Amino acid sequence: MERGKTKIKEGVVVSDKMKKTVVVRVERVFRHPEYQKVMRVSKKFKAHDEAGVCRVGDRVEIMACRPLSADKCWRVVRRLKIDSKSQPS
């Protein structure tokens, strides 16, 4: 039985220094209700990367899942865009 839509977010990897974990910065843009200024707000999420293939600068899609640790309840679904600077030459 499904309880609701699974939350999916898109963001950029800002850290990959932990084992099987990446930090993803998700940015959202909205217009302030009173002042009509376009606001840009970002939030960082820790996401599980089982294969350990994500590198800093990669654009990834993350999906909510059960809590995997005290502050990690997202997992990387797929890499959308690979950063060319992060590729080993």
- pLDDT band at 1, cuts 50/70/90? very low
Average pLDDT over residues 50-71: 96
Query: Residue ranges per domain, the chain?
Result: 8-84
For the record, the structure tokens of 56 come out as: 């800093």
pLDDT computed for residue 3 by the predictor: 67
One-letter amino acid at 19 equals K
Average pLDDT over residues 75-89: 81
pLDDT computed for residue 87 by the predictor: 62
pLDDT computed for residue 88 by the predictor: 59
pLDDT at residue 33 is higher than 90: yes
Q: Please state which architecture CATH assigns to domain 8-84.
A: Beta Barrel (2.40)
d(CA 54, CA 49): 7
Which backbone phi and psi does 13 adopt, to 5 degrees?
-75, 125
Q: Contact 16/54 with Cβ under 8 angstroms?
A: yes
Cα→Cα distances 86→14, 40, 59, 61, 81, Å: 12, 26, 12, 18, 11
